[in-house]
Amino acid sequence: MAAMQRPPFTALAAVYDAIMADVEYDHWVDFVLTYARDGGLEAETALDLACGTGGFTRELYGTGLRVHGLDGSAEMLEVARERLPADVALSVGDLRTFDLGETFDLVTCVFDSLNNLLTPGDLGAALGRARAHLRPGGLLACDLNTRLGVRELWEGSQIEGLADLPDGREVHYHWSHHYDPGTELGVVQAFCRVEDGEGGLDEFVEEHRERGYDPADLEPLLAGAGFTRWEIVEYPDYAPPSADTARVWVFAWA
């Protein structure tokens, strides 16, 4: 039986945290808040865009920030609700059009989530909405895969492994990547096989697509979104990116 094709970030929600257990969200939060403090911003409130299951959101909350998380996937947010404190607000929303009616000291969007916006127009719209939700003097912090990063996402173009779920079951995942030069998109086929607890298996596959954005692509979009100044750097040392940089971090001030 062929694995069932599912929309992006739906079936994956149930196994995402197990597969991504080694992601250093705590280090990323330190990276962001150190930059903010060095820039004179002592943030009290944060909006975490494309928050998914809340890994980065939880680390932001743990530093004492009042945090609101937003994501386009109701399935991912359902998992986030289970793992986050009740006073973390969560909203379903489209990065290009959302309007929460309030502003924040800090807006974040991490783990190359913005690369899922497949046109510069869509990315520009998302940056504009992020800017609209920042108070004057607030900071946007986000990361994106560059064009090189999307072309060469993983060594060998695949990752595979087993991960333990909280209920004792196992998920086997096999994710393959290819780059389509015609569309300039990276395409990931994310296959997962999960024991169903009764001796059977649940198999599904999601297709995820990304467009890479270089600093030269990002700067006019940041200007068009209304940011006054920005810096594009590498993690973890805030160094200027080079031609070989696969992922950049953007810090943009309102």
pLDDT tens digits along 94-108: 999 999 999 999 999
In this prediction the pTM is 0.97
Confidence of residue 15 (pLDDT cuts 50, 70, 90): very high
Both tokens assigned to 115: 């690369």
Q: Are residues 78 and 21 in the same domain?
A: yes
Identify whether 5 is part of a domain.
no
Cβ neighbours of residue 36 under 8 Å, at least 6 residues apart? 42, 43, 106, 139, 141
CATH code (residue 87):
3.40.50.150
Between 64 and 199, the higher pLDDT residue: 64
| 7 assigned to some structural domain | no
First to last CA, the chain: 52
For residue 201, the cross-strand partners are: 195
In this prediction, residue 22 carries a pLDDT of 96
Distance from C-alpha of 3 to C-alpha of 191, rounded to nearest angstrom: 8
Q: Is it the case that residue 197 has pLDDT exceeding 70?
A: no
HSE at residue 82, side-chain half, CA atoms within 13 A, is 11
Residue 135 has pLDDT above 70, yes or no: yes
Indicate if 53 and 157 belong to the same structural domain.
Answer: no
Q: Are residues 38 and 110 in the same domain?
A: yes
DSSP 65-108: -EEEEEES-HHHHHHHHHHS-TTSEEEE--TTT---S--EEEEE
What mean pLDDT value characterizes the chain? Answer: 96
- pLDDT mean over 189-202: 83
Give residue 72's domain range: 13-146+213-253
**Amino acid 155: pLDDT:** 84
**Residue 2 forms part of a structural domain:** no
* Same structural domain, 110 and 96: yes
Answer yes or no: is 4 within a domain.
no
Is 162 within a domain? yes
What's the chain's length in residues? 254
For range 204-208, the mean pLDDT: 97
- 163 falls within a domain: yes
Segment 192-198 mean pLDDT: 82
What CA–CA distance (Å, rounded) separates 140 from 241?
A: 18
pLDDT in tens, 208-237: 999 999 999 999 999 999 999 999 999 999
Which pLDDT value is given to residue 156? 87
In this structure, what is the dihedral angle of CA atoms 88, 19, 144, 79, given to the nearest 10 degrees? -20
Q: Is pLDDT of 1 > 60? A: no
Q: pLDDT tier at 199 (50, 70, 90 boundaries)?
A: low
Phi, psi of 69 (to 5 degrees): -110, 140
Asked whether residue 3 is assigned to any structural domain, the reply reads no
Q: Can you count the helices (H) and strands (E) in the chain?
A: 7, 12
Q: Looking at the structure, do residues 167 and 97 belong to the same domain, yes or no?
A: no
Is it the case that residue 119 has pLDDT exceeding 60? yes
- Domain end (from 211, 228, 243): 211
Residue 73 shares a structural domain with residue 55: yes
Residues 206 and 225 in one domain: no
Residue 252 to residue 133: CA distance in whole angstroms: 13
Answer yes or no: is 1 within a domain.
no
Residues 219 and 128 in one domain: yes
Residue that is written with structure tokens 């196994």 in the block: 15
pLDDT at 42 over 80: yes
| Domains in the chain, number | 2
CB 16, CB 53: distance < 8 Å: yes
Q: Are residues 227 and 123 in the same domain?
A: yes
**Same domain for 104 and 228?**
yes
Check whether 160 has a pLDDT greater than 80: yes
Residues 136 and 234 in one domain: yes
Residue whose token pair is 């992006």: 8
